[in-house]
Structure 1
Amino acid sequence: MNYVSTRGDNKKRTFSQAVLEGLADDGGLLVPESLPDFSREWPKWKNLPYNELAFRVLEPLATDMPEEALRQCCDSAYGPSYGGPVAPLREVGPFHLLELFHGPTLAFKDVALQLLGRLFGVILEQKNQELNIVAATSGDTGSAAIYGLKDVPRVRLFVTHPEGRIADLQRLQMSTVMNDSVFNIAVDGTFDDCQHMVKQLSSDLEFKRNHSIGAVNSINFARIAAQIVYYFAAYLQTPRAAEQVPAVVAVPTGNFGNILAAEYARRMGLPLACTVLASNENDILPTFFKTGMYKRGAPRATHSPAMDIQVASNFERYLYLLASENPEKVREMMTSFATKGELQLDANPGAQWSALACSNEKTLETVKQVWNRHQHLLDPHTSTAWWALEQVLDQFDPDLPKIVVGTAHPAKFPDVLRQVVPEDVPDLKHPTLEALKDLPERLFTIPAQTDSLKKFVTKGIEHGAEGVFLRSEEKAAPHG
């Protein structure tokens, strides 16, 4: 399987090369030349353990990796060290809840990043290379990346987040990790600023080559590939999977990676009747699906901070599908968007898509209703998907399985949830998170300027996190 740029740079890469490269040299995202068809295979996978299911899905996407190496990555990522079941499906009231928050950092991004860390380790050792990862996080990617990569040899990790715009517990999950190869960087700006800086840095080809820059954000296709697996896992757990009754799946959506994985799974043969995109008040994506207008706006702070995004970094891969995989059309669209800050297309997502924006008020109201009716606590992101699915229920046969993707443990957002549920609800706390509150932190602060990030990365490579902390001219800001 080869990987190509959505913007058509005429270069073909293996899976391993795509994993290390992250972003194409022309600024495009890497995608497989074709998708495997599992229509005849997936019904045989019902009783497979998660690690074996992951291997079956990933093998045709990673054809350059030795079978044993890929299998070991899957076995290690989804073995006892994961911390809990990877993707259990739980019946809650009228819906099935796909719980993706039982990993080390209690968020769905653990599923992909535990695997990506293993892939980096195997590939870098094989090639005798080092890699410097530069990432942006709106809350969960950073901690999941840190816990997936902190012990991987040959890797340094630089994680940027918008200062003061993520939950305290999300910050603590990152800033309390004291590994010399891990750098936590608070940016004086928004998450979109962080993403823009990381993309600009990765687009500076000379800097990228000289400093061996890679990516763990969902611009890295390996992240998407790993997420495809849990849609097969979820469907196979539904009561009528053997009958191949199509399912409806509702996905909290910010950067479009999670829901894109569902779309890829559908194109690989998984029977999904509809994918429901749930956004918060940052409604650039629902607006696009309704009007065809994709327009950058100012990010709004909401109760679901990981989705406070105006420019969805994975949306280009969906545009590539809409353009019938024509890279010239994608290049024209992205050039126009970069220049004008907006893009107008014919809005025709088809019956397989529905997209809604959930307000802060409805987010909390849904949390309260689900708790009162079912004694189950949702986090604010999952709440948006539950609400969105409720809005479109009458469009579907009552017998179709309806899946809500649960993306984070509610204990990561206690201050928000305490507004609508009793103080003594057990899931408002988690021992993993409580243990962080007494630990010291290490943070670095930089302005929202790509040059500042480049200078910091250069220092980090030379001196390590502890060395930079001691020498730093930046405002080193420990909170503990």
Structure 2
Amino acid sequence: MKYISTRGQAPALSFEDVVLTGLAPDGGLYVPETLPHFSQEEIASWSALSYEELAFKIMAPFVDGAVPDAELKTIIAESYSKFRHQAIAPLVQTGHNEWVLELFQGPTLAFKDFALQFLGHLLDHLLEKRNQKVVVMGATSGDTGSAAIEGCRNCDNIDTFILHPHNRVSDVQRRQMTTVIADNVHNIALEGNFDDCQNMVKASFGDQSFLPEGRQLVAVNSINWARIMAQIVYYFYAGLALGSPARPVSFSVPTGNFGDIFAGYLAKRMGLPIDQLVIGTNSNDILHRCLSDNDHSKHQLVHTLSPSMDIMVSSNFERMLFDLYDRDGDAIRNLMEDFKSGSMNLDESALSKARELFSSYKLDDDETLATINELFETCEYLVDPHTAIGIRAARATRRRQDIPMICLATAHPAKFPEAVRKAGQETDPQLPHHMNDLFEREERFEVLPQDLSAVQSFMQQRIRS
């Protein structure tokens, strides 16, 4: 299988090369040239598979032999061996035909573990095979950073640099990153917001001349195709658990960077019978505005109680646009040029397709807190603010009560105690046992100005020879 750029001016790459490349040289994102498609009979035959066994079935066609099957199975097994629940992605019922898919059972208590545990083990395998050393550089609005660090901390061939917006992630999220004391792990607190961090990363990928000879940057945020690929699996897993493919299912996803719900869209195209895909946003509602009003313009970023979604530039939306515009790279390149100036508008055909595929809903902080409280009052189930947004969006937009609605729980509530307290809970949610000393651990991070040369100089001085 080959991978092509959404902007149409970069050479097609193999799976191995696309994992190690990140952004395409033309500024686009890589997507598979073709998607595998599974028949209803084949999907039905997977109903008894474990999460790891299902992951192999879903991912093997994308890998296409770049990693031998036996080694791919080992990588998958190692990736999910640290998850705290045997089901890996358990379902909890919260209402009539309404389910929460708990994606926070991994080592850093967030859905990012599903992709980044896998990506870390995959990178280790590929780099060892190639006798190559790389530099991982990533931006995080909260959860990606800790999951990336956890996935790469034991990789001898990787130096890891993670940028987070200074004082704009929760204390738990920050400490999960900054208490990993290792020679190959470096945390940068950037004086800016998440989009500023992401712009630094994109600029560095665009010009890597600051790196030592023989090194290259590797992406761990959701521009890396391997992350999207790994996230497709839990859509199939949840659907099978609730009777698919014999009956359809729907999903609601709290959405910032569009990678998680894009994986759901791909699952639908690959054969999973999905009736409805719901986008839930906080006050940073560019995706909701795009779908409802064809207004894809940058507004001032608002800092909310759901900080992992405090994003105004949803990078993965470009992958969706590529399909909405019938894979026309020139059209996407022109759209992205428009967006650089602050806004873009979809043509009527693309907008109509998007509205057929997705529903959307926006919540402010007060509505988010009310949802946390309501859920606890009605079924004694405590959720974090991001998950609350997904649940309220599902309830507000749901079309059919006879189809199971699966709401993705993207983080453990203990990562956001401030929001839980504001929702009316008298005690903070408890961190799991393996993390109960988090606030006693030593922290290490560097506060840097919003200056690309300062960030790159910091990296230069710390990349190991």
TM over 0.5: yes
- The answer as to 2:414 corresponding to 1:423 is no
When structure 1 is superposed on structure 2, of 302-311 and 3-12 the one drifting more is 3-12
Aligned to 2:383: 378
CA distance in 1 between counterparts of 2:136 and 2:433 reads: 29
Aligned to 2:135: 132
Aligned partner of 2:412 among 380, 403, 409: 409
Shift of 1:462: 4.4
CA contact (8 A) 1:86 1:111 kept: no
Shift of 1:450: 1.9
Aligned to 1:222: 226
1:166 is paired with a residue of what secondary structure? coil
Structure 1 residue runs of 5 or longer lacking an equivalent are 464-480
CA distance in 2 between counterparts of 1:11 and 1:74 reads: 29
Aligned to 1:43: 44
Aligned to 2:343: 342
Which digits, 9 at most, give the CA deviation of each residue in 1:445-477, with x for residues without a partner?
A: 1111222221121111148xxxxxxxxxxxxxx
Shift of 1:400: 0.5
CA contact (8 A) 1:87 1:98 kept: yes
CA contact (8 A) 1:2 1:14 kept: yes
Query: 1:200-239 alignment to 2 at 5 Å?
Result: 200-207=203-210, 210=213, 211-238=215-242
CA contact (8 A) 1:138 1:162 kept: yes
CA distance in 1 between counterparts of 2:449 and 2:230 reads: 33
Which digits, 9 at most, give the CA deviation of each residue in 1:65-95, with x for residues without a partner?
A: 211221111111122x233342111112231
Q: Name the % identity.
A: 41
- AA in 1 matched with 2:226: A
Query: 1:433-448 alignment to 2 at 5 Å?
Result: 433-448=435-450
Query: 1:345-364 alignment to 2 at 5 Å?
Result: 345=346, 346=348, 347-348=351-352, 349-364=354-369
When structure 1 is superposed on structure 2, of 229-238 and 64-73 the one drifting more is 64-73
- AA in 1 matched with 2:370: E
CA contact (8 A) 2:104 2:410 kept: yes
CA contact (8 A) 2:256 2:309 kept: yes
Shift of 1:17: 0.6
When structure 1 is superposed on structure 2, of 410-419 and 269-278 the one drifting more is 410-419
2:92 is paired with a residue of what secondary structure? strand
Aligned to 1:2: 2
CA contact (8 A) 2:10 2:25 kept: no
Shift of 1:428: 4.2
Aligned to 1:141: 144
Aligned to 1:331: 333
Shift of 1:206: 3.7
Structure 2 residue runs of 5 or longer lacking an equivalent are none
Shift of 1:421: 3.4
Which digits, 9 at most, give the CA deviation of each residue in 1:105-139, with x for residues without a partner?
A: 00000011010011001100111101100000000
Aligned to 2:59: 58
- AA in 2 matched with 1:412: K
Aligned to 2:28: 28
- AA in 1 matched with 2:18: A
1:156 is paired with a residue of what secondary structure? strand
* Greater than 4 Å deviation, 4+ residue runs: 207-210
1:74 is paired with a residue of what secondary structure? helix
CA distance in 2 between counterparts of 1:69 and 1:105 reads: 25
CA distance in 2 between counterparts of 1:12 and 1:328 reads: 16
- The answer as to 2:87 corresponding to 1:88 is no
Shift of 1:293: 2.1
Indicate how the Cα distance of structure 1 residues 350 and 422 shifts in structure 2: closer, same or farther if over 3 A, else same.
closer
Question: How large is the RMSD of aligned CA atoms in angstroms?
Answer: 1.4
1:351 is paired with a residue of what secondary structure? helix
- AA in 2 matched with 1:52: E
- AA in 1 matched with 2:371: T
Query: 1:238-277 alignment to 2 at 5 Å?
Result: 238=242, 240-241=243-244, 243=246, 245-277=247-279
Aligned to 2:167: 164
Question: When the two structures are aligned, how many residues end up with a matched partner?
Answer: 456
- AA in 2 matched with 1:378: V
- The answer as to 2:4 corresponding to 1:16 is no
CA distance in 2 between counterparts of 1:456 and 1:320 reads: 36
2:4 is paired with a residue of what secondary structure? strand
1:45 is paired with a residue of what secondary structure? coil
- AA in 1 matched with 2:136: I
When structure 1 is superposed on structure 2, of 49-58 and 430-439 the one drifting more is 430-439
CA contact (8 A) 1:253 1:278 kept: yes
Aligned to 2:453: 451
- The answer as to 2:323 corresponding to 1:321 is yes
- AA in 2 matched with 1:231: Y
- AA in 1 matched with 2:324: L
